[in-house]
Amino acid sequence: MSAPDIRPASPDPAKLSLNTATIREKWGLAQAIEGCARHGIRGISPWRDQLAAMGVQEAVRAIKAHGLTVTGLCRGGFFTAKDWKDDNRRAIEEAHALGAQCLVLVVGGLPQGSKDLAGARNQIRDGIAAILPEAKQAGVPLAIEPLHPMQAAERACVNTLEQALDICDALGEDRRGAQREAGAGARGTLGVAVDVYHVWWDPKLAQQIARAGKRRLLAYHICDWLVPTRDLLNDRGMMGDGVVDLPRIRSMMEGAGYDGAHEVEIFSRLDWWQRDPDVVLSTCKDRHARMT
Amino acid sequence: MSAPDIRPASPDPAKLSLNTATIREKWGLAQAIEGCARHGIRGISPWRDQLAAMGVQEAVRAIKAHGLTVTGLCRGGFFTAKDWKDDNRRAIEEAHALGAQCLVLVVGGLPQGSKDLAGARNQIRDGIAAILPEAKQAGVPLAIEPLHPMQAAERACVNTLEQALDICDALGEDRRGAQREAGAGARGTLGVAVDVYHVWWDPKLAQQIARAGKRRLLAYHICDWLVPTRDLLNDRGMMGDGVVDLPRIRSMMEGAGYDGAHEVEIFSRLDWWQRDPDVVLSTCKDRHARMT
């Protein structure tokens, strides 16, 4: 027997957010902010290189002027790189300045020349533990993003939601304990970013989203998995063009209590990055409403 | 703390087996059989299209004449395709004729036009259940091969060892029960094929190999994960050229009681498929001894 066919109500258009990677080939952050405002997209999630290019204070001013919500900052992490500590400190400061709902952690892959996956994973857990006090103090929730297993060597050797939640457990961010501390329903200090591209295949997806619960579900990223996929990194699809059952995954998230943004993040060198960003944004709006 | 650095003794050269996909662009099955004999490789694992081209009886004769062990037949499965039942029956007959140690099941991806991953997974479980009695009767162990999550849409939506073992459990092939039935240490009728390319990234790899145990560990395939990987299907590396800690994974397998073949399976359109197969085979022998 197949799982019941859950078709939730259409998503709230106010929850749509633009991860600026989606249009980064043609627009800087200032243009992205104006574009979101022009298209009635209420959330934005910038990347730090674009933030540096615009200047943090200028970005804060423009985002505030347009009344946008910063649904995340991309990215901290890379705990297996040399300068990880200073870089994550700066990322926390920037996320704080932006009032970002979370700092997304892409945790890093194997160190150069290493095959020691278990060792890298321990290094990552210890790195997160090391920056957690500063994140707490700054009021910046840290969202561990499990990346697709095909990125294990190069970008992140946290590759399943279960593994990310085990790290949350190991670092003492017990869900019930934290609820007692901060009041049920509040956003936790440490949790996960659920990107459908990375986790859609996972047989334990529903179970682990339920396990995470509202406090640990800090971000929800959407796009689609294309068949065929021509590149391991930059061939993501627009919602509706691939095989991911987006309404089903959203209903898992909502069932676990998630009521945050739906952030579109599309790396697409061959297709969407080549198009007029205004067309990309109106397509995102349309597909979000109809296909997710 | 990192996991202890387990460096097992060098592998037994007699365990090396050649999956004929490794040299399939230049050699047919007859040449592969002769090549294995010439290079002192004692095991072979043919693909069914090559077997059909050579003729089953002629292949059986040549394999027997050279004293090779058939460590697996590739492949049955594709339970989400239309003609799955007849095709798997024929595969079981061929595996029986060859005396293959197992029939490898690449279980199939999403049906054309479908996004129902849970439904496809149920279909696969039911398909395996349907062919299991015939496999038992023929004495052909079925090895479910979890494929890398990047193949979930197109080739196999069984994507972790845990998921494959859950299917074994669901189909009543209880490890202890089966041991009582058939004597401890015998090869089970239903188990898994562990291909390092598909599972090396899995945080639960050691745990699930231990869970599988000797009876369910039916095959062990080796190659390497290249950085960068340029193609999702045909860019596998020769052992030692990538980031997979092959000695560590072998020691997990041996720790669980596996004493079967080490089967080299390299899909490499850009590199190894272009080379002289005699050079490929001698490289396999050398790398197996030094890097696995």
> Which residues, 6 or more positions from B237, have their beta carbon under 8 angstroms from its beta carbon?
B223, B224, B225, B226, B266, B268, B271
Q: Of B201, B234, B239, B252, which to mutate for an interface test with A (greatest number of A Cβ within 10 Å)?
A: B201
CA distance B123 to chain A (A): 8
Q: How far apart are CA A31 and CA A41, in angstroms?
A: 13
Q: Are A156 and A197 in contact (CB under 8 A)?
A: no
Which pLDDT score, from 0 to 100, does residue A217 have? 98
Pairwise CB contact (< 8 Å): B119 & A201: no
pLDDT at B230 over 70: yes
Which pLDDT score, from 0 to 100, does residue A7 have? 75
Strand partners, A237: A224
Q: Which amino acid is at B103?
A: L
DSSP class of A6: -
**What percent of chain B clears pLDDT 70, i.e. is strictly above it?**
93
Closest Cα partner for B235 from B283, B285, B273? B273
Pairwise CB contact (< 8 Å): A232 & B117: no
Pairwise CB contact (< 8 Å): A159 & B200: no
Which pLDDT score, from 0 to 100, does residue B172 have? 83
Residues of B with CB below 8 A from A122's CB?
Answer: 1-2
- Mean of the pLDDT values across residues B146-174? 94
Strand partners, B235: B268
Query: Which segment of A98-102, A230-234, B194-198 scores lowest on mean pLDDT?
Result: A230-234
> pLDDT, tens digit, for every residue of A126-185?
999 999 999 999 999 999 999 999 999 999 999 999 999 999 999 986 555 454 444 445
pLDDT at B194 over 90: yes
Which pLDDT score, from 0 to 100, does residue B110 have? 97
CA B12 to each of CA A161, B17, B42: distance values in angstroms, whole numbers, following the listed order: 38, 11, 11
DSSP notation for B96-115: HHHT-S-EEEE-B-PPTT--
Structure tokens at B70: 């058939």
**Helices vs strands, H then E, count in chain B:** 11, 9
Query: Which segment of A148-152, B8-12, B154-158, B189-193 scores lowest on mean pLDDT?
Result: B8-12
Query: Which segment of B147-151, B187-191, B240-244, B259-263 scores lowest on mean pLDDT?
Result: B187-191
Structure tokens at A286: 């349309």
Which pLDDT score, from 0 to 100, does residue A174 have? 52
- Mean of the pLDDT values across residues B9-22? 97
pLDDT at A2 over 50: no
CA A164 remoteness from chain centre: 13
Closest Cα partner for B217 from B183, B261, B181? B261
> Which residues, 6 or more positions from B86, have their beta carbon under 8 angstroms from its beta carbon?
none
* One-letter-per-residue 3-state SS of A192-251: EEEEHHHHCCCCCHHHHHHHHHHHHEEEEEECECCCCCCCCCCECECCCCCCCCHHHHHH
Q: Are A191 and A144 in contact (CB under 8 A)?
A: yes
Q: Are B190 and B177 in contact (CB under 8 A)?
A: no
> Which residues, 6 or more positions from A25, have their beta carbon under 8 angstroms from its beta carbon?
A269, A273, A274
Which pLDDT score, from 0 to 100, does residue B186 have? 72
pLDDT at B13 over 90: yes
- What's the mean pLDDT when you consider all of chain B? 94
pLDDT at B175 over 70: no
Go through A98-130 and write b for each residue having 16 or more CB atoms within 10 A of its CB, e for each that does not: bebbbbbbbbbbbeeeebbbbbbbebbbebbee
> Which residues, 6 or more positions from A146, have their beta carbon under 8 angstroms from its beta carbon?
A156, A158, A159, A160, A161, A163, A164, A192, A198, A199
Which pLDDT score, from 0 to 100, does residue B187 have? 82
pLDDT at A187 over 90: no
pLDDT band at A186 (very low <50, low <70, confident <90, very high): confident
* Contacts across the A-B interface (CB distance below 8 Å): 93
DSSP class of B264: E
B277 preceded by a cis bond (ω within 30 of 0)? no
> Which residues, 6 or more positions from A186, have their beta carbon under 8 angstroms from its beta carbon?
A179, A215
Closest Cα partner for A253 from A1, A12, A2? A12
CA B170 to each of CA B68, B129, B166: distance values in angstroms, whole numbers, following the listed order: 35, 9, 6
Strands of chain A, DSSP E: 16-19, 43-45, 69-70, 73-77, 103-106, 142-144, 190-195, 217-222, 262-264
Which pLDDT score, from 0 to 100, does residue A263 have? 98
Strand partners, A194: A220
Specify the pTM: 0.94
Which pLDDT score, from 0 to 100, does residue B179 have? 47
Query: Which segment of A105-114, B43-52, B173-182 scores lowest on mean pLDDT?
Result: B173-182
A118 in contact with B, Cβ within 8 Å: yes
- Mean of the pLDDT values across residues A234-258? 98
Q: How far apart are CA B180 and CA B177, in angstroms?
A: 5
- Mean of the pLDDT values across residues A28-57? 98
Which pLDDT score, from 0 to 100, does residue B174 have? 52
Tell whether the torsion through CA atoms of B219, B223, B225 and B228 is positive or negative: negative
pLDDT at B178 over 70: no
Pairwise CB contact (< 8 Å): B159 & A201: yes
Strand partners, B191: B143
CA distance A150 to chain B (A): 7
Which pLDDT score, from 0 to 100, does residue B184 have? 44
Calculated CA dihedral for residues B198, B230, A109, A80, nearest 10 degrees = 150
Which pLDDT score, from 0 to 100, does residue A184 have? 44
B227 in contact with A, Cβ within 8 Å: yes
- Mean of the pLDDT values across residues A90-100? 98
Q: Which amino acid is at B285?
A: K
Q: For tokens 């030692």, what's the residue?
A: B240
Nearest to A154 among B116, B122, B227 (CB): B227
Q: Does residue A202 come out as left (phi exceeding 0), alpha (psi in the -120 to 50 range) or beta?
A: beta
Which pLDDT score, from 0 to 100, does residue A172 have? 83
pLDDT at A5 over 80: no
- What's the mean pLDDT when you consider all of chain A? 94
Is the complex ipTM more than 0.85? yes
> pLDDT, tens digit, for every residue of B50-98?
999 999 999 999 999 999 999 999 999 999 999 999 999 999 999 999 9
Query: Which segment of A108-117, B2-11, B18-27, B190-199 scores lowest on mean pLDDT?
Result: B2-11
Pairwise CB contact (< 8 Å): A243 & B118: no
Structure tokens at B210: 């231990």
- Mean of the pLDDT values across residues B189-212? 98
Pairwise CB contact (< 8 Å): B2 & A159: no
pLDDT at B155 over 60: yes
> Which residues, 6 or more positions from B220, have their beta carbon under 8 angstroms from its beta carbon?
B193, B194, B195, B250, B253, B258, B260, B261, B262, B263
pLDDT at B278 over 60: yes
- Mean of the pLDDT values across residues A19-42? 98
Strand partners, B76: B105
Which one has a higher pLDDT value, B129 or A5? B129
Phi, psi of B141 (to 5 degrees): -65, 140
pLDDT band at A6 (very low <50, low <70, confident <90, very high): low
